[in-house]
Amino acid sequence: MELNSSKKGTLVIISGFSGAGKGTVVNELIKKDNFSLSISATTRAPREGDVDGVSYFFKTKEEFEKMIEEDALIEYASYVGNYYGTPKAYVLEQLDKGNNVILEIEMQGAMKIKEKFPDAITVFITPQSFNELERRLRKRGTETEDKIKDRLNRAKEECSFMGKYDYIVINEKLEKCVEDVYNIIYAQSFRKDKSLELIECITNDFNSVK
């Protein structure tokens, strides 16, 4: 009896302030077994090195708009004249395979997805302090002072979103943060709603013995 084989994965929505280190946390998570990263669909042209189905699913405008019509996207937005969205089929297929699907997305998108997928968990990643966020943004060294100020101001506004997430994790040390998020996701696999087949299996086994 393969008791755990039939468990569905968990859709994990990760957000946080710009500079909180979410990208690094996500990269560490998807190195693990049974973890997939959600791949976005886009109408922007492939760049050198882009691989269809790996970096993005590349679509024409018509194809993308057909996906919108057919409700084939979990969420979508347009940005600088191109569409970006999360194809539903890939996510559902991965979850059915028992993989946990990680979706890194900004806060309003996250809340929309949670509404559509109440079984998903939302995780908010934050540094331990504002000073630390500022330090990390400056350390990147890739952005102008204005851009950094913009990001910091947006972070102040975004504080009001924290209380809408299921879990809040501090990213003070990367390894600890990755482990904490991993544990949160791992714990989901024992949830009753993920264990319906297990419960049925045990019940049948117990009642088959006279």
CB nearer to a copy of itself: pick between 34 and 195: 195
Short-list 132, 80, 133, 125, CA closest to 107 = 125
Q: Which CA distances in Å does 185 have to 40, 99, 116, 188?
A: 22, 11, 19, 5
Minimum separation from the CB atom of position 94 to a copy of itself (A): 22
CB nearer to a copy of itself: pick between 147 and 156: 156
CB nearer to a copy of itself: pick between 66 and 191: 191
CB 11 within 8 A of CB 201: no
Residues at the site binding a copy of itself, with contacts judged by CB under 8 A: 1, 3-4, 123, 126, 128-131, 133-134, 155-156, 159-160, 162-170, 180, 183-184, 186-187, 190-192, 195-196, 198-199, 202-203, 205-209
HEC per residue, 89-147: HHHHHHHHCCCEEEEECCHHHHHHHHHHCCCCEEEEEECCCHHHHHHHHHHHCCCCHHH
**Residue keyed to tokens 């979410």:** 22
CB nearer to a copy of itself: pick between 140 and 192: 192
Minimum separation from the CB atom of position 62 to a copy of itself (A): 41
- The string of DSSP codes covering 141-181 is --S-HHHHHHHHHHHHHHGGGGGGSSEEEE-SSHHHHHHHH
Minimum separation from the CB atom of position 84 to a copy of itself (A): 28
CB nearer to a copy of itself: pick between 68 and 196: 196
Minimum separation from the CB atom of position 195 to a copy of itself (A): 4
Minimum separation from the CB atom of position 43 to a copy of itself (A): 36
